[in-house]
Structure 1
Amino acid sequence: MSRRIHPSWVVMDSLENAEGNRCVDIFRRPDGSFGFEEFRRDAEDRGAWTPVQYFSATRHDTRQAALVAARRAVPWLAEADTAH
């Protein structure tokens, strides 16, 4: 489990970029709220996912709302969506 994702939170989606070195996790908290966090993976970190932003503190009422917010906040995620 990566830092900034509490062990009690359930990751619903893990969206990676084409290079496999960035991802956004959409998660659900025990209280029913949703959130997201962006991570990077570098060779010098032995492939561990490292948080790069502080989005995990935000709360959204639905999974879809968290996904929309992630697309607005993370440029590569929005770009990946428009590439398809």
Structure 2
Amino acid sequence: MWYIAHMKSDIQRINNIIGQLEGVKKMIESEKDCFEILTQVKATRSALESFTTQFLSGQFVDCLNSCKKTEQEDTCKKFIKEMTN
């Protein structure tokens, strides 16, 4: 599966995002300037959106094939609806 082949890369990206969130938390706790915090929040959000897009583009076909094989069409339809809204 695509996910297994790219698991290390995915986990590293997730760890980077977690690190960004921890940095934002520390900034808030130390009462940093709100514009600096917002800049970091925006960067974190962008990293998460990028990860989501990359992950789904690789995972999507496998998910659909898995749904067909396991006859989970309702679950697949809900997933597709949520991801496209």
Shorter-normalised TM range: under 0.3
Structure with the bigger percentage of helix: 2
Structure with the bigger percentage of strand: 1
Q: Which has the higher contact order (CA 8 A, sep 6+)?
A: 2
TM-score by length of 2: 0.26
TM-score by length of 1: 0.26
